[in-house]
Amino acid sequence: MTFLELIQKRYSVRGYKPDPVEEDKLQQVLEAARLAPTAGNRQRFQLIVVHAEGREEELRRIYGRDWFAQSPVVICACRYPMDPARQRKDYTDVDIGIVVDHLILAAAELGLGTCWIGAFDPAAAREVLGLPDEVEPVVFTPLGYPADPPRPKQRKPLSELVRYEHW
């Protein structure tokens, strides 16, 4: 599979089989996240892996869709606050976007489904995951074998997204 085929293949999976995620596949997607570039190579993020079995109610508090709590694994990407002494612009959210995209694409290559979740309840996430005050949950994704079929991609044409040489 080429990279372009992989990004065609990935879609937001909103239905998961109960089959567990093999530990070696979990470690491969985490390794893909670890290798992501970050501004100044600061790596100011943490990933929290939650095995959903027995924690379904807690996960439902974080994000209320059934398919979220039904996936066997949920991963939360968290950020540390910006270090103002070292950075003029705070790129930590950009870093986390790249980290999670690595993770999600590696998962797709392994046949695993994911879905970016930004519309979660941050207070519930803090409580359920026991986050320290200075750590902020940025995005979640379920991780598991897809139980819903891919949909055609809805995207604007390049002509609406790209300008050449000037605005």
Ligand X SMILES: Cc1cc2nc3c(=O)[nH]c(=O)nc-3n(C[C@H](O)[C@H](O)[C@H](O)COP(=O)(O)O)c2cc1C
Burial 55-77 (b: 16+ CB within 10 A, else e): eeebbbbbbeeebbbbbbbbbbb
Q: Using the minimum distance from each CB to ligand X, give the nearer residue, 160 or 165.
A: 160
Q: Using the minimum distance from each CB to ligand X, give the nearer residue, 151 or 163.
A: 151
Structure tokens at 58: 């807690």
Q: Using the minimum distance from each CB to ligand X, give the nearer residue, 122 or 132.
A: 122
Q: Using the minimum distance from each CB to ligand X, give the nearer residue, 124 or 166.
A: 124
In the complex, the smallest distance separating the C-beta of residue 23 from ligand X, rounded to whole angstroms, is 26
Element (H, E) at 49: strand 45-51
In the complex, the smallest distance separating the C-beta of residue 119 from ligand X, rounded to whole angstroms, is 3
In the complex, the smallest distance separating the C-beta of residue 85 from ligand X, rounded to whole angstroms, is 28
Structure tokens at 12: 């937001």
Distance CA(69)–CA(56), nearest Å, equals 5
- Residue 51 and residue 69 in contact, taking contact as beta carbons nearer than 8 Å: no
In the complex, the smallest distance separating the C-beta of residue 63 from ligand X, rounded to whole angstroms, is 7
Interaction site with ligand X (CB under 6 A)? 11-12, 14, 115-119, 139, 153
